[in-house]
Amino acid sequence: MTALLTLDQARLNQTFHVASVTAPEWAPEWAQWLADIGFLPGERVAVLMRAHPGNDPLAVRVGHSTFALRHAEAACIVVTPA
């Protein structure tokens, strides 16, 4: 069985596939926003960098694009190892 984790928990430079995207109750629009910028099931994704101090934001590559995501946003993205 493949372990599921969220993107904020992912190791740097390890490739994953997006399994699903959820949104917190207090920000339901995040799921659509993340889908709009490319975080769709099956897409390849990797965490490239974490800011210091505090590891927030994260530089994340999805497909051929790179984005800065806050820790809370990355926690909405469930991934599986590629």
**What pLDDT digit, counting tens, does each position of 8-49 carry?**
999 999 999 999 999 999 999 999 999 999 999 999 999 999
Structural domains of the chain in order of their starting residue, each with its CATH number = 5-81 (2.30.30.90)
pLDDT of residue 4: 79
Q: What does the alpha-carbon distance between residue 18 and residue 15 come to, in Å, rounded to a whole number?
A: 10
Nearest in space to 19 (alpha carbons), one of 33, 34, 48, 68: 34
pLDDT of residue 2: 60
* The pair of three-digit structure tokens given for residue 67, joined into one six-digit string: 């984005």
